[in-house]
Chain A
Amino acid sequence: GAGVSQSPSNKVTEKGKDVELRCDPISGHTALYWYRQSLGQGLEFLIYFQGNSAPDKSGLPSDRFSAERTGGSVSTLTIQRTQQEDSAVYLCASSFRGQIYLENTGELFFGEGSRLTVL
């Protein structure tokens, strides 16, 4: 597609359940980022992928959170045993990172987000 696609757009779940959020980046974009935004708050960085590896996962709030990326494309963010404080909009972004420095504009393209509500 033309932009970053995220699914589901809305997810309501019960406390203690596991959820999976999916991100389809822009074709050809090698870098992928997950952020979350709680109600009325700023964006909180979670994890960054370059290809299929995650050189920076420093923002994951606990071991209940994990993410993977396969084929250098689609990424899945998994939250196990969800808690009410996990309720937020989870945003995915992608960017192009070429081999030549000048190819890297540093611009991130964001999806519309997945709104997670934990009851």
Chain B
Amino acid sequence: DAKTTQPTSMDCAEGRAANLPCNHSTISGNEYVYWYRQIHSQGPQYIIHGLKNNETNEMASLIITEDRKSSTLILPHATLRDTAVYYCIVRGRSGNTPLVFGKGTRLSVIA
């Protein structure tokens, strides 16, 4: 079972910031928070990951609460091409366990 809880769906106006929340209250100390997205008819795409510090890359920012029980993925200026299902996943970094995908959040960016 997925260890995360996400809203089923969200809408965001084009050009505005999209803030996608994720609860992971049972996360353990050595588990990272990963975000992936899946655009229709494509394989999932890695976005970002973090342990406890906030992270930023060219795609998004990841804000993790101090207690690590929740996080928020931020797409600073959403475009229509960001419409996708966004998955929040917790997992160790060693690579010897599979990613467990939950239902994710279906983000619709609206013109």
> Which residues of A are at the interface with B, using a C-beta cutoff of 8 A?
4, 31, 33, 35, 42-43, 45, 48, 50, 55-56, 59, 91, 93, 95-97, 101, 104-113
CB distance from A53 to the nearest CB of B (A): 11
Q: Is the CB of A42 within 8 A of B103?
A: yes
| A112 adjacent to B43 (CB under 8 Å) | yes
**How many A-B contacts at CB < 8 Å in the complex?**
66
- Report the minimum CB–CB distance from A36 to chain B (whole Å): 11
Listed by A's residue number, 28 A-B pairs whose Cβ atoms lie within 8 Å are: A4-B43, A31-B96, A42-B102, A42-B103, A42-B104, A43-B44, A45-B99, A48-B98, A50-B96, A56-B97, A91-B44, A93-B44, A93-B99, A95-B95, A97-B95, A101-B93, A106-B34, A106-B49, A106-B93, A107-B34, A108-B36, A108-B44, A108-B46, A108-B99, A109-B46, A110-B43, A111-B43, A112-B43
Contact A101 B94 (CB under 8 A): yes
- Please determine whether A97 and B43 come into contact, CB atoms closer than 8 angstroms: no
**B49: nearest chain-A partner, CB-CB:** A106
In the complex, the 5 A-B pairs of residues with the closest C-beta atoms, listed nearest first: A110-B43, A97-B95, A43-B101, A106-B93, A45-B98
Cβ–Cβ contact A56 & B98, under 8 A: yes
Interface of B is mostly: loop
Residue of B nearest to A115 (CB): B41
B53 to chain A, nearest CB (A): 15
Greatest chain B CB density within 10 A among A43, A55, A59, A95 is at A43
- A50 and B98 alpha carbons, distance in the complex (Å): 11
Pair B49/A104 contact, Cβ less than 8 Å: no
B96/A106 in contact, CB under 8 A: no
B95 touches A45 (CB 8 A): no
User: In the assembled complex, how far is the CB of residue B111 from the closest CB belonging to chain A, in whole angstroms?
Assistant: 25
Contacts of A48 in B (CB 8 A): 96-98
Q: Contact between B49 and A105 (Cβ–Cβ < 8 Å)?
A: yes
